[in-house]
Amino acid sequence: MNPSPLPPAIRPPARRLWLWGILAVPLLLLVVLAVGVASCFRLSSDARALRNGLIKSSGVEWRQQIALNAGNLTLGIVRAGLSCARLDPEARAVLQAVRGAEVGVYWLPSGAKSPDRAAMFAAADTTMTARGWDRVVGVMDGRNLVTVYMPGKNVSTHRMKCCVMVFNGSEMVLVSAQANLEPLLEYALNQPALRAKAHLLTQR
Amino acid sequence: MIHYSLAVAVIAAGINLNALADSPPGQVDFGKIAPARGGEFVEIQVKSNLLSLAAQSVEKQQPDVAKLLRSVQLVHVNVIGLTDENRAEMEKRVRQIRHDLDAQGWEQNVTVQQKDGQDIGVYTKTRNGEALAGLVITVFDPKKEAVLINIVGDIRPEQIAALGEKLDIKPLKEVGAALKDAAPKK
């Protein structure tokens, strides 16, 4: 008995493939755009970890006012957009230097008890040290708490990262930025006032 | 089980000794200082990576400043505001640090005791009897604050104000100025 012949393979016509492609490309673009827009309102993992550590250790409930994140792509578009605009040399130097920036603002609702700043300080240190950051500055006085962190390794003028937290008793601001300092340094070192000051310093 | 614990302890001790051996000879650990409730607290710690970055940025325009920055490996400044809660403890801590420095062969270069009770001590440690390995300054002002400064590297006490100016560290500038005032006039 002869085996029955296999049914012929059905290939989608080329036109159908084109149709799928035409449908998929805008859909993909839409997804990428949605992810891009969503990432503008989400802090990076280091900043998120710092925020979570601070909030948890403070022992009080916080409200988020804003969380914005502008990466290299967003800032690149801004740079390109402003390349023809007339800007102060200072502003242009800053624009060229910044490669990424994010900010988060959180506040205490009225009537909330004062958070434990010493615990927040310690928690911030623990969190950031575990992620390879060093605390460069830590200031705590009656109401305020300020901490500045920088990566423990791989710091150069081309790639400088910094994470700052400021709490003034009612509002907490987290700022993290990445920059190429060279355009900024070049601008600063070409200022006559700064040159004169530096000259005075070396003469001491 | 006991052997296992002993082995772990020996390994841990070895790791700790290595960690100590890794720190440069001019570095001093002031211990964990907790800020007092309601008191001021400032800690600045600038490590070699940032210092070399600062040096790199001024290399062309200000080679002397770059040289000064390159000679330093660490700048550690602690300012602890004194309150009734921590005054006695901090006085004891400062005294203990000075005692430890004496015991570890640090040389006491300057001691200033002012009428208002402010007490400044400057200690240096040399490497092979030539270059300076580190510098420690302790300031105890019973009415205001205690300041602990450790600078690791080849830097002289009279260069502290310039370093403070360059790095824009206010306590360094102030201590540098106080040392300048206390120095005998030529």
Q: Smallest CA–CA separation between A156 and chain B, in Å? A: 6
Number of structural domains in chain B:
1
CB atoms within 10 A of CB A125: 18
Task: Please give the residue range of the domain that contains residue A123.
Answer: 45-202
Residue A10 CA, distance from chain mean position: 51
CB contact under 8 A, B61 and A189: yes
Number of structural domains in chain A:
1
Tell me what pLDDT residue B156 has: 80
Q: Smallest CA–CA separation between B3 and chain A, in Å? A: 31
What is the model's pTM? Answer: 0.76
Tell me what pLDDT residue B170 has: 83
Residue B79: closest C-alpha in chain A:
A139
Tell me what pLDDT residue B49 has: 83
Residue-by-residue DSSP string for A115-179: P-HHHHHHHHHHHHHHTTEEEEEEEE-SS-EEEEEEESS---SSSEEEEEEEE-SSEEEEEEEEE
Confidence category of residue B73, pLDDT binned at 50, 70, 90? very high
Residue B3 to residue A12: CA distance in whole angstroms:
72
Residue B169 to residue B158: CA distance in whole angstroms:
16
Name the nearest CA neighbour of A42 among A70, A65, A63.
A70
CB contact under 8 A, A189 and B43: no
Residue B47: closest C-alpha in chain A:
A136
Confidence category of residue B79, pLDDT binned at 50, 70, 90? very high
**Inter-chain Cβ pairs, chain A and chain B, closer than 8 A:** 68
**Chain B environment of A139 (Cβ under 8 Å):** 41-43
Looking at the predicted structure, is the pLDDT value of residue B42 above 80? Answer: yes
Confidence category of residue B35, pLDDT binned at 50, 70, 90? confident
Of the residues B37, B42, B173, the best mutation for testing chain A's interface (the one with the most A CB atoms within 10 Å of its CB) is B42
pLDDT digits (tens, 9 = 90+) for B17-34: 333 446 788 999 998 887
> Is A137 contained in some domain?
yes
Looking at the predicted structure, is the pLDDT value of residue B145 above 80? Answer: yes
Q: Smallest CA–CA separation between B96 and chain A, in Å? A: 24
For residues B63-90, give the mean pLDDT.
90
Looking at the predicted structure, is the pLDDT value of residue B15 above 80? Answer: no
**Chain A environment of B42 (Cβ under 8 Å):** 137-140
Which pair of tokens denotes residue A121?
């300080």
Nearest to A140 among B41, B50, B165 (CB): B41
Tell me what pLDDT residue B55 has: 86
> Is A140 contained in some domain?
yes
Confidence category of residue B2, pLDDT binned at 50, 70, 90? very low
Residue B50: closest C-alpha in chain A:
A155
pLDDT digits (tens, 9 = 90+) for A119-142: 899 999 999 999 999 999 999 987
Tell me what pLDDT residue B20 has: 43
Tell me what pLDDT residue A13 has: 65
Mean pLDDT over the full length of chain B: 80
CB contact under 8 A, B35 and A140: yes
Residue B56: closest C-alpha in chain A:
A157
- Identify the three-state secondary structure at position B83: coil
> Is A135 contained in some domain?
yes
Q: What pairing do the DSSP bridges indicate for beta strands A133-140 and A63-70?
A: unpaired
**Chain B environment of A140 (Cβ under 8 Å):** 35, 40-42
Task: Name residues whose C-beta falls within 8 Å of residue A201's C-beta, 6 or more positions apart in sequence.
Answer: B62, B65, B162, B165, B166
Are B47 and B74 in contact by the 8 Å Cβ rule? The answer is yes
Confidence category of residue B53, pLDDT binned at 50, 70, 90? confident
CB atoms within 10 A of CB B171: 19
Q: Name the CA radius of gyration of chain B, rounded.
A: 18
For residues B104-121, give the mean pLDDT.
84
Residue A140 CA, distance from chain mean position: 24
**Cα-flanking dihedrals φ and ψ of residue A136, to 5°?**
-90, -40
> Is A29 contained in some domain?
no
Task: Please give the residue range of the domain that contains residue B134.
Answer: 2-182
ipTM: 0.72
> Which residue positions in chain A have pLDDT lower than 50?
198-204
Tell me what pLDDT residue B19 has: 39
Residue A188 to residue B112: CA distance in whole angstroms:
39
**Helical axes B63-70 vs A192-202, angle rounded to 10°:** 60
**Chain B environment of A156 (Cβ under 8 Å):** 53, 56
Tell me what pLDDT residue A189 has: 67
**Chain A environment of B165 (Cβ under 8 Å):** 201
- Identify the three-state secondary structure at position B18: helix
